[in-house]
Every structure is written in structure tokens, then in C-alpha cells.
Amino acid sequence: MGVVERSSGPWGRLGGSEGDPGGCEEGLGGCGEDMGAVGRVVEAVGRSWRTQGGSWRLWEGPGSAGNSSGDCAEGMGAVDRTRALGKELEAPGKGIWWTDLTSAMATRLRSAGRRCTVIGGSGFLGRHMVEQLLARGYSVNVFDIQQSFESDGVKFFLGDLCDKEALLPALQGVAVAFHCASPAPSSDNRELFYKVNFMGTKAVIEACKEAGVQEVLSANDPANNFLTVAIRPHGIFGPRDPQLVPILIQAAKRGKMKFIIGDGKNLVDFTYVENVVHGHILAAEKLQTGSPLCGKAFHITNDEPVPFWAFMSRILTGLDYDPPKYHIPYWLAYYLALLLALLLGLLRPLVTIKATFTPMRVALAGTFHYYSCERAKRDMGYRPVVGLEEAIARTLQSYPHLRRARA
């Protein structure tokens, strides 16, 4: 997963030409238009910013002004009030800082009117990405093999990810591309993974270069102003997830969620989809020539590793299913799965049976796999916007149809 962007600086024009602070008419003289815009953004952020504690801070703006000096006063007044709010919220437990507000301001100003393409935008992560980009003022193209939803603010392009000629129309006039296409994590089709993740990404890079998009995944060429960053989330979950929760509940209905593999203490990262989207958009906004993001990969997680089986039990009990309670040693489960895979391989010329108890799934369920996102915090200013408990609660609320019927 990654982003590609046409770089034009983090703020765009805030009045005056670059390197010309003395241009009164268009620089300081343009304070009304530009600082008025800043003021309106600050006011919007102030009205709608949600703290980590879950409460809403409401405060009113100064009203509109009809001229440059008035707009400037509006803008600076909003900034002053936001500084005061920031100091108030710096108290322990408030969870919001002045730097958050200025970062949000920069993001709103930079994204306004920009066109981007979300490759894989009809999928689970891609659709959430589209919704957040629209909310931030982007114009959005979606390229995918199918169209899964309707939106007045989105232009859809259908085609094969590996077909560069099919990709090109979706990338014309685009400033930034988000590459979110991937096979389902539960797939065991190696050929499909190679085609989509390697050949497809190669086609995306070539198409972006040809179309003039200048910020993609795992490729970086500053000499040509082609800037990229790779985002590596782990264990994505959330509303509309077609994998983790539905598959877990299906297994529970079949009586297959009775055993804990190993001692149940193995820590794993599960990452809420909104945090993954936040990480992608942050990367796009921070990516520019000379940025420490260029050509690098960043782990994005909820930064709250949790015991794998505790998380699974939380989902099951939240939907009124019994959690697993019997333990099976990890080594025994792994070798049983390996033996089953060998037997099915021998039988394959005669019959094809799709196993769900595989060595990979045993390893995922019984080993530690969590990642540090410290570099994303340092270089991108990343912090999860939704904590794990809140994320689980929102996810459970989104699946009323999967809740166990009470007798």
C-alpha cells in the first residue's frame, strides 16, 4: 500500500510569491483572503475536532468580515483562540495539542481542490479511503476491477490493475495516487498475489510516471520529482470488513472456535481501518522533495499490541458467541496442519479440498507479530485517531446481522 504524489509544497500559496516577503499587494496585502481562509479552517477544526476522550469541543467563530483587514482579523483571532484552546487541551488526558490543529489546518488547505486516484477504491480499505478523502476536500477517482458503491463525488474507472493502458485514464490530471489493491489476505492463490502485488504495482508505477503523477509505492526518483512512500498496516479491521469478523463468526457457528493455539499470550497488532486511512493521508500530505518519507516504508498500527486470543474472544463475546477455552500446544497444532497439507497435496491429482486449518493460519494465531510505528510518529506525526477499545466497539456495532440469535 502506498501513495504517489505530484508535489507542490505543503501549504501551496498563502499570499505572495515564494521568496518575496515584501510583495505587499499579494503577500501581506493578501492577508485578508489567505488568513481569512486559515481562520475558517481553524474555526471548522475547533468546532469538529474530536479528542481521544470521545467528547466534542464546541466553540463559536467571530463571524464573517467583509474586507481584507477584517478577514485578516478573523483569521488571526481564530488562530489566537485556537492557541488558547490548545493550551487548555494540553492538560493530561485531553489528548489534543496545538500542533494537531495546525497540522489539520495545513491538510485542509493543501487538499482543497486536489484530485487523487484510489487504486482498489471499491475494496474494504479503499472505500474508507475514498470517504475520508472526500471529507477532506479532495476530488477522487477510483480505479478497480468492479464498482461496489455509488457516490456523486467519485469518478469510477474499471479495468485490470496489470493493464497500464487501462490505468492511464484514471491518472490523468491527478496529484496523488493511493495504491490499496490487494487480494484477500485469506487467499492461498500464489499466482494471484504475484500478479496483483508485484506485476500490478509495477504497472501502477509505470502508469503514474507516464501520466505525470509525481508522488508511488516502493519507488523513488527525486531527480524526476517522482516521490513515493510505502505504508505497512497490520491486521486491518473495522466496519464493512469482509474478512476477519465474518470469517470468525462463520467458524464459531460451525463449532470451530473452541481451541486456543499455544498459551494465548502471543501479542499481535490489529489496526482499525480509520487509522490506516489516517496514516495514508498523512503520508501524502507530508511527502515532498527532501522529506524523510521519500522512498521509505512505515508501519502503521493501533500502537496497542494485544494477545491474539483476547482480541478474538472480545469479538466473539461482543456478538454473543462463546470464546475459545481449551488449549492445544502450538507445536502440535502446527505439525498437524503441516501433515494435513501434505496429505491434501498427495490427493490433489484425484480430488481438490480447500483446507482452512493450514500451517500459515496456525502461525498467525499462535506466534507474536506486532510492529513499531515509532518512525511514523517521528517522521509523519502519526498517532492513532481511534483507540483499540473504541475501534472494537464501533466494529461490533456495524455487524448487527452477525449477532447470535438469542434462544
Sequential DSSP letters for 287-352:
--TT-TTTTEEEEE--S--EEHHHHHHHHHHHTT-PPP-EEE-HHHHHHHHHHHHHHHHHHTTT--
Strands 236-237 and 115-119: unpaired
Question: How large is the angle between the packed helices 308-318 and 359-366, nearest 10 degrees?
Answer: 90
DSSP letter (8 states) at residue 216: -
Distances (CA, A) of 398 to 54, 239, 270, 395, 401: 18, 5, 17, 5, 9
What pLDDT, on a 0 to 100 scale, did the predictor assign at position 112? Answer: 47
Per-residue model confidence (pLDDT) at position 215 = 64
Beta pairing partners, 116: 140, 176
Return the C-alpha cell found at 289. Answer: 522533495
What are the average pLDDT values for consecutive 10-residue runs of the chain, which has 407 residues?
46 32 34 41 41 36 39 46 44 36 42 79 94 93 93 92 94 92 79 92 92 62 74 94 92 93 96 96 90 93 97 96 95 94 85 80 93 95 96 96 85
Give residue 360's pLDDT.
87
Q: How far apart are CA 231 and CA 2, in angstroms?
A: 5
Residue 117 CA to residue 119 CA, distance in Å, equals: 6
Q: What DSSP element (H or E) covers 85?
A: helix 68-89
For the question of whether the overall pTM of this predicted structure is more than 0.85, the answer is no
Whether residue 14 contacts residue 24, with contact meaning beta carbons closer than 8 Å, is answered with: no
Q: Which residue is listed with cell 492513532? A: 384
Task: Please say whether the beta carbons of 133 and 278 come within 8 A.
Answer: no
pLDDT value, residue 113: 55
Burial class (CB in 10 A: 0-12, 13-18, 19+), 202: middle
Inter-CA distances, 16 with 22, 33, 44, 368, Å: 8, 12, 25, 53
In the prediction, which pLDDT does 221 show? Answer: 53
All structural domains of the chain, each given as residue ranges with its CATH number in brackets, are: 28-108 (no CATH), 237-271+304-407 (3.90.25.10)
Measured distance CA(157)–CA(81) in Å, rounded: 44
- Residue type for position 3: V
Q: How far apart are CA 44 and CA 101, in angstroms?
A: 10
Specify the long-range contacts of residues 127-131, CB closer than 8 Å, at least 24 apart.
127/240, 128/238, 128/240, 128/273, 128/274, 128/276, 128/277, 129/178, 129/180, 129/277, 129/280, 129/281, 130/154
Those residues whose C-beta lies under 8 Å from the C-beta of residue 118, and which sit 6 or more positions away, are 126, 129, 130, 133, 140, 141, 142, 143, 177, 178, 180
